[in-house]
Amino acid sequence: MPSQEIGETIPANTPHAVSVTLPTWEATVGYEEGQDWVVSKMTSGYPRFFIHSVIQQLAKGIEAKYGRDGERCMIFPTYNVAKRCREFIKEKTSLDQVLVRVLQLSTRAPKDENEKSTVIETNIGVVFFPLSEFSLAKNYWQHSGEGISSRMGEYLLKELIEPQAATNPRGNMKAELQAKQIQSKSPSISISSSGTNALESDKESDTFIEQKYGRVLDLKFAPEAKVALRRRISGKADKSHNQEEEMEKARRGKNLSETDVYLYPTGMASIFNAHQALMKIFQPTPKISVMFGFPYVDTLNILKKFGPGVHFLGLGDDESLDELERDLADGKLDIMALFCECPSNPLLKTPDLPRIRKLADKYGFAVVIDETIGNFLNIHVLPYADIVASSLTKVFSGDSNVMGGSIIINPSSPFYPQLQKYFNEEYEDCFWAEDALYLERNSRDFADRSAKINETSLAALELLVNSPLISKVYYPSISESKKHYDAIKTSTGGYGGLMSFLFHDPADAVCFFNAVNIHKGPSLGTNFTLACPYAILAHYEELDEIAKWDIDRNLIRISVGLEDKDELIEVLQRSLDTAAAQHK
């Protein structure tokens, strides 16, 4: 059963969980307001917003060994990333002068072939700054998505701060698993109290251990895992509508290659680095970008806080596109790029991508499409993009235990030669080895999971649309922009697992959310259904501002998972009934 305990990881007992339980509306508000009854219980959180306890411990150890009086530090996977953080702090600080320094640290290389399974040589960048500048460093960590992962922090802690334990934990875990495997091969057969043949049970244990842990523990396979991920992404993303196949071939000229795919530690790091690439390409005078449609919060923050700025068209509808075209034609706007989500989070609007592409070709700007919500099995956005960014943390992984992101550069883009040159020269592989191994394993059944989520979501949609308590449901198949979604929908694709909805009475929203017996916390695309009061969680300090873009403060967002369809519908119906009962 989903936990309703504040601060418990989602999934439960998962040390590197991506989500965390905020089980009630009041708890979500309490978290946003920093109330002690909530914050004191938060042992975990979404990794870009909540610095994992292992990373906090590592930072304290590094501060103790290398810091100066009054300094704090933040840890990044490369020296160059740390330098970007340093420049951000120095640019944004309110102090006349501030000392921000960067230290590079390295872990040891494997001694021999056997150690390559558990030891990996890596370099990191550590930014030291006065305590007064911690919030700025944290802003960079959150917005850029370039901080170290908790698994990397765990490894660095053992190598840099606790060297005596460097080779023991993984070795012990591997030995323990091998011992279980050996023990499970015992020829003795017995019948358990449930009537299960113990030998059959042991065989299942073997399979479980091999599939869940066998490859993940071996660091030397990380390069192969990354190749497999890039091939998986390029192969799926390159599928087009059958009816458009010939047109697609003629337009693109060549097939997408795995070398056009770049992996990042988070989805936000993908968007951040897409923006960085375009600013470099448009030197010496980068132009502003357009954010088309209301996006996830940090996409807009990246465009606002890094570079020359952003022109925000928050409604993201056809009228907004009319406005953009007029401003471009009249010379009121001269832009570097247009960023959009497809569909958008949380209102599930789909932009008119063919029209955007025509404007981009006419006026010479780049198009960056974040297709995380749709996912590249459901929609085919590459023909309309110069760069496709994705959060692999979501449905691509599903297990909610690893972060990841990707960039695809379109071989048919007019900017392709410049983008290819940029990434060949500037790209750094910051994706931690263990995270790549977990993500590769998680994503093997991506297609099957996506199909089931699509199917279950339609049943959930029908329930919500027909509830007399609910005033509006946001979902691509019932949106005013459905025609734009259908224009890019793949032949076997669906409409995804994310939907948002409003109640006629805000009190019903609170009652429903508090009563519903599903996981409740940040993130989406998980293998389990996950809900949150989206506006409260993501925009609590700007609820009046976001109302201008049709984001209601009482909006609930649900990401449908892999549960049995009938059971999920029953759970949702019970909570609707609970909300209805308070009117009697």
Q: pLDDT per residue over 361-413, tens digit each?
A: 999 999 999 999 999 999 999 999 999 999 999 999 999 999 999 999 999 99
Beta-carbon count within 10 A of 263 CB: 23
Q: How far is CA 52 from the centre of its chain?
A: 16
**DSSP letter (8 states) at residue 382:** G
Q: Domain 446-581 belongs to what architecture?
A: Alpha-Beta Complex (3.90)
Q: Residue 217 — pLDDT band, cuts 50, 70, 90?
A: low
Whether residue 247 is predicted with pLDDT greater than 60 in this model: the reply is: no
Give CA angle at 4 (508, 512), nearest 5°.
Answer: 10
CB atoms within 10 A of CB 200: 10
pLDDT digits (tens, 9 = 90+) for 119-173: 999 999 999 999 999 999 999 999 999 999 999 999 999 999 986 444 444 333 3
Residue 434 confidence (pLDDT): 96
Report the CATH fold assignment for 53-165: Alpha-Beta Plaits (3.30.70)
pLDDT at 296 over 70: yes
Across 467-475, average pLDDT: 98
Reported pTM: 0.88
Percent of the chain with pLDDT over 90: 82
> Do residues 436 and 222 lie in contact, with contact meaning Cβ atoms separated by under 8 Å?
yes
Between 167 and 514, the higher pLDDT residue: 514
483 exposure class (CB count in 10 Å sphere: 0-12, 13-18, 19+): exposed
pLDDT in tens, 524-577: 999 999 999 999 999 999 999 999 999 999 999 999 999 999 999 999 999 999
| DSSP-assigned letters across all residues of 97-162 | S---EEEEEEPPPPSSTGGGGT----EEEEEEEEGGGHHHHHHHHHHH--SPPHHHHHHHIIIII-
CATH of domain 221-442: 3.40.640.10
> Which one, of 500, 490, 429, 496, lies nearest residue 464 by Cα?
500
Answer whether 81's CB lies under 8 Å from 428's CB: yes
Q: Is the pLDDT of residue 207 over 60?
A: no
Q: Which of 40, 47, 50, 5 is nearest to 23 (CA)?
A: 5
Query: Has residue 243 got a pLDDT over 50?
Result: no
Closest by CA to 155, choosing from 101, 251, 96, 222, is 222
pLDDT at 163: 64
- Max CA separation in the chain (angstroms): 83
The residue behind tokens 């300094």 is 71
Q: Which two tokens stand for residue 191?
A: 């019948």
pLDDT at residue 255 in the model: 74
